[in-house]
């Protein structure tokens, strides 16, 4: 059984004696605090924090992290407070323990919400000290190693959470050793039979491949020795989940995956990496398009290496990774390498860079958290953003920006700055104008064009892929909708108050604020927004406000404020009905729809028949003298079938300064066809001009506007 003395012996390799004494003191404190507590397996509880500290010792973490590992369950599972820990072991250790612990025991109806809330707390703790997540990962790793004592359903839940969140975070921070083990342990818990079969097959295949691996390894080593290049060649093993994913996603057999031989060459410096690359390319022919230079452009998690694939003897594919010893430590320990080098008093740029990148990532998480509507939305963003395949593009100044595969111009704009994303209207890719939805490729140079009054568009959500862009767009749209609904709610409430010969401005000062509690809201804007979005009737609110001033009020006389004026540029709270396609110039009428605001119909629209009996649900609208948008309208045209008719119609519509949004043809008989045309026009006059032109075409019969 592993003891504290065994751990102290291991720590002697990189920590001074006084720091080892503090780690031992933390262990004895935890042992006393957890006295009498046992794990599900029956072992004393203190074996868990000791094992977590041992995992951190493998990564050469500092003494405060090791002390936090010893004490990480003390606040949650015993009566010890954070303040008591601070007095005993210092504020830094107490903050670490507080960050790792589940700070409160809140009961949620939905376990997914509970997990998301806990993850949000962890992100906040990470923002104070990034070591929190490293201790948490070590804690989760030991829990995964000891899943055996739990119920099968609990095993699967913990394994899924580990795979979706913790393994990805370990990968994002570059801690590859923990990531691989978490993935394989999760795979075993979720799919025990598949895991066991692949494990047996791998073991069997390694036996058959041993001689081939030795042969390739010796030829690579001989190549380095002959050229006088420093380097050690080692075999690289695929882990179980990686094999399973390739079999499932790439539809490959187990034999096809195991036919690829992987090797890693560890050398002294960056110069040797590139010289070794040249040597192995001389030994075996490289596969075109399979070379990646992660030394010049590191991955987001700080990973650096040269990757190449070679044709071995008989066409056998050989994957080779070439890196320095520092890069190897970085690949295995990621951000933890930062403390490894600090412990050796030799701060390396590669480790410092990984720490800076991790801090930047956590800052991005905090920004997403501020924009997310709730904890579940936030955690969904994080899942989508973790562990992407990256592309690299350039700003006009030559700075490199890293984005996930499939990212668009809008993703790039938001990665530069949220304000640039919110106000972007166009883009130049390699000096040529391109749509905002363009998919980006590595090596492109991008210049974003912005405009002061520009706003995000709901259609952007259909093509952006980064979590930062998606959460920022949703946040901006919510804010935009709220502002517009408040403005509309004010107009609707004033219109309803006009029935009682008053208005918001004429109500006594403070009267509306005094009635907010009775109306079930906290702020005036909240009340107005709910009216604008149709969740509350303006007339009912107006009556309540007037009732509070006088008893049994009655509407006095006709409405004096006239109809609501609309232009089509009101934004998200004015919607135009698709059943009748109202145009400027048409008599129009409106009704409120929950969540949509005002829906505008033509006055004769049959879909409003059920509402006409209740005049409070409908209100008069009129068009402003200037319109700021084009409006869709549907036409149904009967024509004689002939070649080139569609092109002729399209040309005519374009010449009339209108756009075709949709066109469809249905055959009526051998001689006649029906053309269904949806156009974007300015108003009724514009439409009348287009219809007149279409009527003048030969072979055109009946033409009418579709209303319902």
> What's the pLDDT tens digit per position in 361-399?
666 666 766 666 666 666 666 655 554 566 778 888 877
Short-list 41, 11, 46, CA closest to 28: 46
Confidence (pLDDT) at 274: 95
Q: Judging by DSSP bridges, how do beta strands 292-293 and 285-286 pair with one another?
A: unpaired
Q: Confirm whether 76 is a catalytic residue.
A: yes
Short-list 358, 383, 360, 373, CA closest to 472: 373
Short-list 302, 284, 304, CA closest to 294: 304
| Count of Cβ atoms closer than 10 Å to residue 73 Cβ | 23
Confidence (pLDDT) at 246: 83
- Give the pLDDT band of residue 413 (cuts 50, 70, 90): very high
112, 548, 633 from 636: Cα distances, Å: 51, 54, 10
CB 123 within 8 A of CB 369: yes
Q: Confirm whether 430 is a catalytic residue.
A: no
Residues 6 or more apart whose CB falls under 8 angstroms from that of 470 comprise 381, 384, 461, 464
> What's the pLDDT tens digit per position in 242-293?
888 888 878 888 888 776 788 999 999 999 999 999 999 999 999 888 898 9
Q: Which of the residues 6, 9, 35, 77 is marked catalytic?
A: 77
Q: Up-side HSE of residue 95: CA atoms within 13 Å toward CB? A: 12
In the predicted model, is pLDDT for residue 233 greater than 90?
yes
Q: 300 burial class (0-12, 13-18, 19+ CB within 10 angstroms)?
A: buried
Q: Judging by DSSP bridges, how do beta strands 618-623 and 564-566 pair with one another?
A: parallel
**Of 154-168, 176-190, 199-213, the least confident:** 199-213
Q: Up-side HSE of residue 392: CA atoms within 13 Å toward CB? A: 12
Q: Which of the residues 31, 76, 402, 501 is marked catalytic?
A: 76
In the predicted model, is pLDDT for residue 142 greater than 90?
yes
Determine the Cα–Cα distance for residues 358 and 300; give it in Å rounded to an integer.
Answer: 9
- CA dihedral over 457, 462, 465, 466, signed as positive or negative: positive
- Give the pLDDT band of residue 613 (cuts 50, 70, 90): low
DSSP secondary structure of 444-483 = -BEEEEE-TT----GGGGGT---HHHHHHHHHHHHHHHHH
Determine the Cα–Cα distance for residues 161 and 194; give it in Å rounded to an integer.
Answer: 19
Mean pLDDT value across residues 125-146: 84
SS3 505: coil
> What's the pLDDT tens digit per position in 76-132?
777 788 888 889 899 989 888 888 775 333 334 455 666 666 666 666 666 677 788
Determine the Cα–Cα distance for residues 439 and 283; give it in Å rounded to an integer.
Answer: 38
CB 122 within 8 A of CB 99: yes
Taking each helix axis as running N to C, give the angle between helix 192-226 and helix 270-283, from 0 to 180 degrees, rounded to the nearest 10: 90
Tokens for 200, please give them: 């047996």
Q: 578 burial class (0-12, 13-18, 19+ CB within 10 angstroms)?
A: exposed
Is the backbone of residue 443 left (phi > 0), alpha (psi -120 to 50) or beta?
left
- Give the pLDDT band of residue 577 (cuts 50, 70, 90): confident
Domains of the chain and CATH, by start: 4-145 (1.10.3210.10), 195-343 (3.30.460.10), 357-471 (3.10.20.30), 475-623 (no CATH), 631-705 (3.30.70.260)
| Count of Cβ atoms closer than 10 Å to residue 506 Cβ | 10
Beta bridge partners of 100: none
Confidence (pLDDT) at 106: 33
Determine the Cα–Cα distance for residues 435 and 84; give it in Å rounded to an integer.
Answer: 59
Backbone angles phi, psi at 253, to 5 degrees: -80, 165
Determine the Cα–Cα distance for residues 215 and 693; give it in Å rounded to an integer.
Answer: 80
Residue-averaged pLDDT of the chain? 80
Determine the Cα–Cα distance for residues 423 and 414; give it in Å rounded to an integer.
Answer: 10
Q: What angle do CA 220, 290, 413 make, to 5 degrees?
A: 135
SS3 286: strand
Short-list 372, 381, 334, CA closest to 175: 334
Specify the pTM: 0.59
Tokens for 418, please give them: 């949220």
Determine the Cα–Cα distance for residues 522 and 677; give it in Å rounded to an integer.
Answer: 49
Percent of the chain with pLDDT over 70: 82
Alpha helices in 250-348 (DSSP H): 254-258, 270-283, 325-333, 337-343
Mean pLDDT value across residues 19-30: 93
| Count of Cβ atoms closer than 10 Å to residue 442 Cβ | 13
**Of 63-67, 420-424, 693-697, the least confident:** 693-697
Residue with tokens 């374009």: 654
Strands of the sheet with 672-681, listed across from one edge: 659-667, 672-681, 631-640, 700-705
Determine the Cα–Cα distance for residues 208 and 257; give it in Å rounded to an integer.
Answer: 14
Confidence (pLDDT) at 110: 53
Residues 6 or more apart whose CB falls under 8 angstroms from that of 129 comprise 92, 95, 96, 99
Q: Locate the DSSP E strands across 493-573.
A: 564-566
Determine the Cα–Cα distance for residues 23 and 217; give it in Å rounded to an integer.
Answer: 42
Determine the Cα–Cα distance for residues 657 and 641; give it in Å rounded to an integer.
Answer: 26
In the predicted model, is pLDDT for residue 334 greater than 90?
no
Beta bridge partners of 434: 427
Radius of gyration over alpha carbons of the chain, in Å?
34
**DSSP symbol at 38:** B
| Count of Cβ atoms closer than 10 Å to residue 600 Cβ | 24
In the predicted model, is pLDDT for residue 660 greater than 80?
yes
Confidence (pLDDT) at 341: 47
Q: 373 burial class (0-12, 13-18, 19+ CB within 10 angstroms)?
A: exposed
Backbone angles phi, psi at 620, to 5 degrees: -75, 145
Beta bridge partners of 588: 602, 621
Distance of CA 460 to the CA centre of its chain: 14
């Amino acid at each position: 059984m592993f003891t504290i003395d065994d751990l102290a012996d291991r720590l002697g390799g990189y920590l001074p004696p006084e720091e080892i004494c503090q780690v031992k003191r933390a262990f004895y404190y935890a042992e006393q605090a957890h006295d009498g507590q046992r794990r599900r397996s029956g072992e004393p509880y203190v074996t868990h924090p000791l094992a977590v500290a041992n995992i951190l010792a493998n990564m050469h973490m500092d003494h405060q992290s090791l002390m936090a590992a010893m004490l990480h369950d003390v606040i949650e599972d015993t009566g010890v407070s954070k303040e008591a820990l601070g007095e005993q072991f210092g504020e830094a250790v107490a903050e670490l323990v507080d960050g790792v612990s589940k700070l409160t025991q809140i009961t949620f109806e939905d376990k997914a919400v509970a997990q998301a809330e806990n993850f949000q707390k962890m992100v906040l703790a990470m923002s104070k000290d990034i070591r929190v997540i490293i201790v948490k990962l070590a804690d989760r790793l030991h829990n995964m190693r000891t899943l055996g004592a739990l119920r099968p359903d609990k095993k699967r839940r913990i394994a899924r959470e580990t795979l979706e969140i913790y393994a990805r975070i370990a990968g994002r921070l570059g801690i590859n050793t923990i990531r691989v083990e978490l993935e394989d342990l999760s795979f075993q818990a979720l799919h025990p039979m598949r895991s066991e079969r692949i494990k047996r097959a791998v073991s069997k295949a390694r036996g058959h491949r041993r001689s081939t691996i030795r042969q390739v390894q010796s030829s690579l080593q001989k190549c380095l020795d002959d050229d006088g290049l420093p380097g050690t060649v080692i075999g690289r093993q695929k882990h179980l989940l990686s094999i399973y994913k390739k079999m499932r996603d790439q539809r490959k057999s187990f034999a096809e995956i195991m036919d690829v031989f992987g090797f890693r060459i560890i050398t002294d410096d960056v110069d040797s990496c590139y010289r070794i690359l040249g040597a192995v390319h001389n030994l075996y022919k490289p596969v075109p398009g399979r070379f990646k230079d992660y030394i010049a452009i590191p991955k987001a998690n700080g990973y650096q290496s040269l990757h190449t694939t070679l044709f071995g003897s008989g066409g056998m594919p050989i994957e080779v990774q070439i890196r320095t010893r520092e890069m190897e430590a970085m690949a295995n320990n990621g951000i933890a390498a930062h403390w490894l080098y600090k412990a050796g008093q030799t701060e390396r740029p590669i480790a410092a860079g990984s720490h800076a990148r991790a801090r930047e990532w956590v800052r991005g998480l905090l920004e997403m958290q501020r924009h997310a509507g709730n904890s579940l939305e936030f955690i969904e963003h994080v899942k989508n953003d973790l562990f992407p395949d990256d592309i690299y593009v350039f700003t006009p100044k030559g700075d490199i920006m890293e984005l996930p595969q499939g990212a668009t111009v809008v993703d790039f704009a938001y990665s530069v700055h949220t304000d640039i994303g919110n106000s972007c209207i166009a883009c130049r890719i390699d000096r040529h104008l391109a749509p905002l939805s363009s998919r980006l490729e590595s090596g492109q140079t991008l210049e974003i064009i912005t405009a002061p009054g520009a706003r995000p568009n709901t259609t952007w959500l259909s093509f952006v892929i980064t979590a930062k862009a998606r959460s920022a767009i949703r946040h901006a749209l919510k804010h935009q909708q709220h502002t517009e609904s408040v403005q509309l709610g004010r107009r609707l409430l004033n219109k309803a108050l006009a029935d009682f010969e008053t208005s918001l401005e004429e109500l006594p000062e403070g009267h509306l604020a005094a009635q907010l509690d009775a109306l079930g809201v906290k702020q005036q804007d909240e009340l107005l927004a709910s009216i604008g979005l149709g969740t509350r009737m303006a007339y009912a609110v107006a009556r309540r406000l007037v009732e509070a001033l006088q008893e049994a009020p009655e509407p006095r006389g006709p409405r004096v404020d006239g109809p609501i004026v609309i232009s089509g540029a009101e934004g998200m709270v004015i919607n135009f009905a698709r059943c009748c396609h109202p145009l400027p110039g048409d008599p129009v009428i409106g009704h409120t729809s929950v969540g949509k605001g005002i829906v505008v119909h033509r006055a004769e629209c049959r879909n409003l028949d059920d509402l006409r009996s209740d005049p409070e649900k409908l209100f008069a609208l009129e068009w402003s003298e200037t319109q700021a948008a084009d409006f869709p309208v549907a036409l149904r045209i009967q024509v004689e079938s002939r070649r080139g008719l569609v092109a002729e119609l399209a040309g005519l519509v374009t010449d009339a300064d209108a756009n075709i949004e949709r066109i469809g043809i249905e055959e009526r008989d051998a001689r006649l066809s029906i053309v269904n045309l949806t156009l974007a026009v300015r108003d009724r006059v514009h439409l009348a001009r287009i219809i007149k032109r279409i009527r003048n075409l030969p072979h055109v019969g009946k033409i009418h506007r579709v209303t319902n």
